[in-house]
Amino acid sequence: MALNHDLIGVESEPVERSWTSRDTLLYAVGVGAGLDDPAEELPFTTENSAGITQQVLPTFAVLAAQGGGRRDLGDFDRAMLVHAEQAFELHRPLSPAGTAQVTSKITGIYDKGSGALVVTEATAVDAASGELLVTSRSSAFIRGEGGFGGDRGPASEWQEPARSPDHQVTYRTRPEQALLYRLSGDRNPLHSDPAFAARAGFPRPILHGLCTYGVTGRALLHTLAGSDPARFAGMSGRFSAPVFPGESLTVSMWTDGDTATFRSTKDDGAVVLDRGVVALRPQ
């Protein structure tokens, strides 16, 4: 059974997505907040610290916009699916607890030869007011599902600046980071089951791409936006190599006014999150 191209452009019915203070705190710890200094990121990891109001890491927006209408994409081996790209626009900072109505649609299925690239867009609006909260765009690469003669899709115009990074920071991950992150909702056994990971071609479970994305987002927030979620307007990047729990991530940033380009690498220099762009609101 081939991928179902009839789904392209069809918007799902709204699905209610709720989160609590506990969910946003758990997410922060799941992407490494407080790992090196438990007191350093208390606005994101606690709700009852003296003089501190709980805030939400901007990259939680991707989770807030998930769940919009599950549809049958076709019959394929789920072990062959990897998260390829992720982008989001955050229209206002998220509350520590909230409820949204989420809709989604597949905007394209592209033929990459060795596989298919499935691109999805989702929107989350406040369930009470209808205010737009998040616009999220993601793509999944499904190995072995290409070669159907379709469009290859648009080309990226991202270029690495021809200078040294303006900022460069390194964040560790925990050996059990994937086990923490999966508690935020992604129970894909690729990140926890050694047998499933082996079937997908990995020597051991890998870190969730969105965990790598969240660790990188923390680096961008603290380095470029003064740790203020209200200044964080959006972020995009392409997953280019797996990260294993316990490895460190170095985020290189090149600033250009209210935007910056970035790239995340491992200690061996392997690029794991590429073609990154972050949009910032002025102070």
Q: Which of 17, 16, 86 is nearest to 58 (CA)?
A: 86
pLDDT-derived band of residue 70, with 50, 70 and 90 as boundaries? Answer: low
Of the candidate ranges 86-90, 111-115, 178-182, the one whose mean pLDDT is the lowest: 111-115
Of the candidate ranges 72-81, 173-182, 183-192, 242-251, the one whose mean pLDDT is the lowest: 72-81
In the predicted model, what is the mean pLDDT of residues 11-40? Answer: 96
Pick the catalytic residue from 83, 91, 186, 274.
Answer: 186
Residue 1 has pLDDT above 60, yes or no: no
Pick the catalytic residue from 23, 83, 91, 191.
Answer: 191
Catalogue all structural domains in the chain, each as residue range(s) with its CATH number: 5-280 (3.10.129.10)
pLDDT in tens, 243-261: 999 999 999 999 999 999 9
Residue 267 has pLDDT above 80, yes or no: yes
| pTM for the predicted model, two decimal places | 0.93
Q: What does the alpha-carbon distance between residue 151 and residue 167 come to, in Å, rounded to a whole number?
A: 38
Q: What is the pLDDT of residue 200?
A: 84
pLDDT-derived band of residue 159, with 50, 70 and 90 as boundaries? Answer: confident
- Which residues is 87 bridged to in the sheet? 137, 236
pLDDT in tens, 191-212: 999 999 998 889 999 999 999 9
**Is 191 an active-site residue?**
yes
In the predicted model, what is the mean pLDDT of residues 257-283? Answer: 96
Which residue carries 């090149």 as its tokens? 254
With beta carbons less than 8 A apart as the criterion, state whether 106 and 118 touch: yes
Task: Name, in order, each residue with C-beta under 8 angstroms of 193's C-beta and a sequence gap of 6 or more.
Answer: 205
Q: What does the alpha-carbon distance between residue 130 and residue 109 come to, in Å, rounded to a whole number?
A: 30
Q: What is the pLDDT of residue 126?
A: 97
Q: What is the pLDDT of residue 56?
A: 98
Strand 232-239, strand 167-171: pairing: unpaired
Q: What is the pLDDT of residue 69?
A: 59
Task: Name, in order, each residue with C-beta under 8 angstroms of 69's C-beta and a sequence gap of 6 or more.
Answer: 12, 13, 15, 103, 104
More confident residue, 34 or 149: 34
